[in-house]
Amino acid sequence: MNDAALAVASLEEHEIMADLIFLVITVGFFAVSIAYTHGCEKLRGRQS
Amino acid sequence: MTPIAILQVVLYFGILLVITKPLGSYMARVFEGEKTFLHGPLGWLERGTYRVLGVDPHRDMKWTEYATSMLMFSLASMVFTYGALRLQGILPLNPQHFGVKQMPADLAFNTAASFTTNTNWQSYSPEVTMSYFSNMVALAIHNWASAAVGIAIAIAVIRGFSRKSADGIGNFWADMVRCTLYVLLPLSFVGAVVFLAMGVPQNFDPYTVVTTLEGGKQTIALGPVASQEIIKQLGTNGGGFFNANSAHPFENPTPLSNFFTLVLIWSIPGAITHTFGKMVGNTKQGWALFGAMAALALAGMIICTSAEQAGTPHLAAAHIQTAATAMQSGGNMEGKEVRFGIAASSLFATVTTGASCGAVNAMHDSFTPIGGLVPLFNMLTGEVIFGGVGAGLYGMLMFAVLAVFIAGLMVGRTPEYLGKKIEKFEVQMAMLATLVLAASVLGFAALSSTIDLPKTGALAALNTWPGSVYGGADAVYGAATGNLNNAGPHGFSEIFYAYASGTGNNGSAFAGITANTPWYNGTIALAALIGRFLMIVPLLAMAGALAKKVHIPASSGTFPTDTPTFAGLLVGVVVIVGALTYFPGLALGPIVEQFQMNVLATH
């Protein structure tokens, strides 16, 4: 593999890694939001 | 204010009042599942959609199920948009051959989060970034869906007040389908035709290269603008087809289209107050909320327009004509379109930031300090001055709960609102929603005002603007304050505005800040997600708790909430909460800048 091919490969890896990071952040945020939903319901249950 | 500015405001509120009752009544019928004149031509589509989705529109959801459905829908649509943006290079309708180079991961994340949350903050320049497919599918889908989500949530919160001893607050999928088919679709169709008639383009042609009078070459960007423009304004989205947004002559060709745009922005947020009144069985309750919103709006319009019309001491010292005459606007015209002048620009700034729309026809960064404080304050209220479609109403209902709680404390009685006892849980949820917004705005603004990112090594990329993509050089900023065009209080206002806009799901930019870096793309996206979803969840929880309660008949001790007195109290609570929470930020930004400007002018 020549240098140019290596550079392209590392660029692609970098892009895929960036996509994975943002996917994890997105799914993580919504998972937290669902946990937050259940947390609010739990609080309501304790007070009723 | 000049006579034309006063006339414009009076005419604007007059038209808004005319629209509110019929549109609000119509929306109440739609969401109550009653027949309307559009059920004939569109009813089959509604039934077909339910069949395809496997949805029973009559099945009520508990608030937790409603919230989870909304969150899962938003997650799926955000991931779809992220993927479509990143893959635009291999997708159709891309005559300019934009690809992944123009759409790096951090920008795609910011844009996907921004459009999912109805924020439509644009870190990118659309003309050099987005394919037609990205515009018409990846982004436009959210112009519809995020608007429908906002309205659906508002309707669910209304049901919390209107229902008695009920477990459910409606069906999320049915609300989404009804909103899209019977409210957004017909209004958008008619509005797009009006925009076309006013000269807004709608085509799939490649950009046109023309020879200018000086003999140079200029590229004129075109595209399917009218169809995007209507839902951008009607759904209080605000994301422009062009970088100049509503200052661009293809998005907003004439003063008439400018006025039409303003009416579109507040049409649904105004009308939904009447929907609220209808659904709770007392339209005066809706008018009280409308009155509170209108009072706050009017105050902002007067302050902003007066400040811009007065100009600055520097202009006066330079012997520049600052008084309006028959031939020119006078005042502070920096950053404003000469086609619109001061009155239409100030009114637009107040309306778009009150409404969480975010479309702009002038550069807010160029406003006078006090003129710029008004759009900032509008966003900091939580976008309740008519607010986003649906979002304005549920935000104002959050303040209404706090207002009756405060009134109850003052007279020593258990607070009630619309026949429901407001107890500990409801107040906790209203406060949680308020605090989430404040934590996001102030936390991110403080972080970006102080963080010093490295200028060398791998982490330098965190705050680097990719100028090489656009034919220039990359700019490595290091500290997050390095991205600002201005130092001092104006620079702080630029940061404060960015996070107020992101968290408030407004999306307008103060400008003066190079935000297309991983740092700003990431943090503004998170602010938008927090401001949208972590505020909605406690309000749905409040609605769920209220729906379960029995109705208490009004007694002599009940504080009436359908009167001007209550509207006044509500205005007071919004202003006091806004002022107490954000005053330090406002003091460090526009207020100090105003004093600084006056001092510098006299020395």
B11-35 per-position pLDDT tens digit: 999 999 999 999 999 999 999 999 9
**pLDDT at residue B490 tops 80:** yes
Average pLDDT value for chain B:
94
Q: Is the pLDDT of residue B140 over 70?
A: yes
Q: Residue A8's pLDDT is what?
A: 47
Banded pLDDT at B277 (limits 50, 70, 90): very high
Instruction: Please judge whether B105 and A30 are an interchain contact, meaning their C-beta atoms are less than 8 angstroms apart.
Output: no
- Integer angstrom CA distances of residue B473 from B129, B290, B481, B581: 17, 50, 19, 41
For A21-40, what is each residue's pLDDT tens digit? 999 999 999 999 999 999 99
Provide mean pLDDT across the span B131-142.
Answer: 91
pLDDT digits (tens, 9 = 90+) for B427-453: 999 999 999 999 999 999 999 999 999
Task: Return the pLDDT at B158.
Answer: 98
The ipTM, to two decimals, is 0.93
- Kindly identify which residue of chain B lies nearest to residue A32, measuring between CA atoms: B534
The set of residues, in sequence order, having a beta carbon less than 8 Å from that of B384 and lying 6+ positions away, is B293, B296, B392, B395, B396, B399, B574
What angle in degrees, to the nearest 10, is found between the helix axes of B105-116 and B63-86?
140
Residue B95 — very low, low, confident or very high, per pLDDT cuts 50/70/90? Answer: confident
Look up the pTM and report it. 0.94
pLDDT at B602: 64
CB neighbours of A3 closer than 8 A, spacing ≥ 6? none
Q: Between B601 and B576, where is the model more confident? A: B576
Asked if B417 and B401 touch (Cβ cutoff 8 Å), the reply is yes
Give residue B601's pLDDT: 66
List, as own/partner pairs, every contact residues B450-459 make where C-beta atoms lie below 8 angstroms and the sequence separation is at least 24, other chains included: B451/B479, B451/B480, B451/B519, B452/B478, B452/B479, B452/B480, B453/B477, B453/B478, B453/B479, B453/B480, B453/B519, B454/B478
Q: What is the dihedral of CA B488, B490, B492, B497, to 10 degrees?
A: 180
CB contact under 8 A, B68 and A34: yes
The residues pairing with B417 across neighbouring beta strands, listed in sequence order, are B420
From the list B276, B391, B293, the residue with the least C-alpha distance to B13 is B293
Report residue B317 CA to chain centroid gap: 37
Residue B352 to residue B25: CA distance in whole angstroms: 24
Q: Provide the token pair at B191.
A: 């509005």
Mean of the pLDDT values across residues B353-379? 95
Weakest-pLDDT range from B8-12, B92-96, B459-463, B522-526: B92-96
The DSSP-derived string for B350-378 is HHHHHTT----SB-GGGS-HHHHHHHHHH
pLDDT of residue A4: 47
DSSP conformation letters of B153-173: HHHHHHHHHH-SS-S----HH
Interface contact flag, A30 B75, Cβ < 8 Å:
yes
Q: State phi, psi for B124 to the nearest 5 degrees.
A: -105, 160
Give residue B398's identity as a one-letter amino acid code. Answer: M
Alpha carbon of A11: minimum distance to chain B alpha carbons (Å) = 11
The C-alpha atoms of residue B275 and residue B294 are separated, in whole angstroms, by: 17
The count of C-alpha atoms lying within 13 angstroms of the C-alpha of B125, restricted to the half-sphere facing its C-beta, is: 11
Structure confidence at residue B279 (pLDDT): 97
- The percent of residues above 90 in pLDDT, for chain B, comes to 83
Rounded-to-10 torsion of CA B190, B192, B196, B197: 30
Q: Which residue has the higher pLDDT, B320 or B111?
A: B111
Taking the C-alpha atoms of residue B382 and residue B342, their distance in angstroms, rounded to an integer, is 26
Provide mean pLDDT across the span A8-23. Answer: 81
The rounded radius of gyration (Å) of the Cα atoms in chain B is 24
CB B252 within 8 A of CB B261: yes
- How confident is the model over B63-81, as pLDDT tens digits? 999 999 999 999 999 999 9
pLDDT confidence band for B600 (50 / 70 / 90): confident
Residues in B 99-138 with any Cβ partner in A closer than 8 A: 100, 104-106, 108-109, 112-113
Residues in Cβ contact with B479 at an 8 Å cutoff, skipping those fewer than 6 apart: B451, B452, B453, B463
User: For residue B349, is pLDDT > 90?
Assistant: yes
Residues of chain A contacting B82 with CB distance shorter than 8 Å: 22-23, 26
Q: What is the DSSP letter of B551?
A: P
Task: Please state the rounded mean pLDDT for residues B409-418.
Answer: 87
DSSP B507: -
- The terminus-to-terminus CA distance of chain B in angstroms comes to 28
How far A16 CA lies from chain B's nearest CA (Å)?
9
What percent of chain B stands above pLDDT 70? Answer: 100
Give the pLDDT of residue B530. 98
Name beta bridge partners: B465: B475
Q: How far is CA B381 from the centre of its chain?
A: 12
Record: contact A33-B533, CB cut-off 8 A: yes
Query: What pLDDT score was predicted for residue A10?
Result: 56
Residues 15-34 of B with CB under 8 A from A: none
Computed over every residue of chain A, the mean pLDDT equals: 83
Q: What is the pLDDT of residue B411?
A: 82
Q: Is B137 exposed, middle or buried (0-12, 13-18, 19+ CB in 10 A)?
A: middle
B39 min Cα distance to partner chain A (Å): 35
